[in-house]
Structure 1
Amino acid sequence: MDRFSQVFNEVPLAEVHDLAARRAEEGWRYVQILAVNTEEGIDLVYSYMKDGLLENDTVAAVGADDAVPSITDLFLEAFVCENEIHDLYGVAIENIAIDFGGMFYQLAEKAPMTVVSPEQLAAREKAKKIAAAKAAKEAAAQKEQVAPAAPAAVAGPTEEEIQAKIAGLDPEKAAKVRAALEAKAAKAAAAAVETAPAPSAALTEEEIQAKIAGLDPEKAAKVRAALEAKAAKAAKTEGKGE
């Protein structure tokens, strides 16, 4: 064996026993079964080793109503982890060769490893809020990208274009044509300015949430107030300008 390596595989619950049988037939050594409590359920990680390679077969989100087949008929030593997972996580494991019937540990409460503390719950809620704020920020950025662009400024005719139009005219008529062209260009430019949408200084609720994500309530309130005050001041300034 030159060096150690490991890989992780996603495995359906229905294939746990068949995969263990193949492992046993191929000479793999059972290492452990790891349980992880997640919001979706209990993840089970079956680890086997052979020739320096550690294969971790992961069954995700095992629910309270799911029946997990025991692998102790193939790897008897797995009875320890299977009894632990049953007692600590409440996972129903069927046909354990050495089954303690829920008495592997003397516990004060059932499935204690599935109990979520207030601190863990707060951390999860905070993570959800940060994720939601991030999504809102990304959505706002995409919205800005697809927002219609302001109409391009209307450019008047260049001097070369004017000269081309008045070429060959007598001076008096040429002066009148030039004046008419310049007046028309000025009128079009003024109309474009009037119809162009004014930029909005106010932030959307999604943008505000993105800026205060992860802050404690007091600081978040101060930041929100500052943003709203800034937007109000900008709007007032725009109103005076009009």
Structure 2
Amino acid sequence: MSGEHRTVYPHIDVLFEDNHVLAVSKPVNIPSQEDATGDPDMLTILKQDLKERYNKPGNVYLGLVHRLDRPVGGAMVFAKTSKAASRLSEAVRSRSLRKRYVAVVHGIPSKANGRLVDMLYKDSRTNTVSVVPKGTEGAKEAVLDYTVLATNDKLSLVLIELHTGRPHQIRVQLSQLGHPLYGDQKYGSRLNKAGQQIALWSVQLGFPHPTSKEEIVIQAMPPAAHPWSLFQPELIQRALQLRD
């Protein structure tokens, strides 16, 4: 692990790095990988940083293990070798890569905690996801656990443990519950205004190291900006400690 705290590009925090793994905090509104917009993306930015930092000739290998939606920030892990990529991808498939998020949602859920299980269908033409009846062709099961950490006026701070990694899963399932995410134009347009930043953050990742098998836990706290600033960050820290 690199003991130094540093940033690249110039505002991407490096959370953990060794010869096999690179973990960073993804800023909001940067794509995980190259897309049709041609905007700078995480994979390209980090490859260039590795190339320059280690003075490597030619192409630099960096494997994309999982993705975060463009408007979502927080903890993200990449593989620096093909072996690490294979083993981390297997950790994703076997669900031994633990993903925890925090979100600010509209309203106050009637239950302080619970498990949501839905069948989700993605329409690739519109890039939207919807909850559909079981047995619908092309639908996939989505499972998450949530805990309400605090409420403030008409908003709630929620901790989410993701058990499946479906596109837009958290956004769709919480909207289906009746509590769309703050700032989510796609699945909560009735309650949100154009220009608001979606309040969803990848707060913690836990995974077995691809070579040593040691449990690695990385953490990235959301920014001290609205609506996160309505809640004390200690609430998130305490909730994560209780679950480890």
Coarse TM-score class (shorter-chain normalised): under 0.3
Give the TM-score, by structure 2 length. Answer: 0.21
Quick one: higher RCO (CA 8 Å, sep 6+), 1 or 2? 2
Give the TM-score, by structure 1 length. Answer: 0.21
Q: Relative to total residues, which structure has the larger helix share, 1 or 2?
A: 1
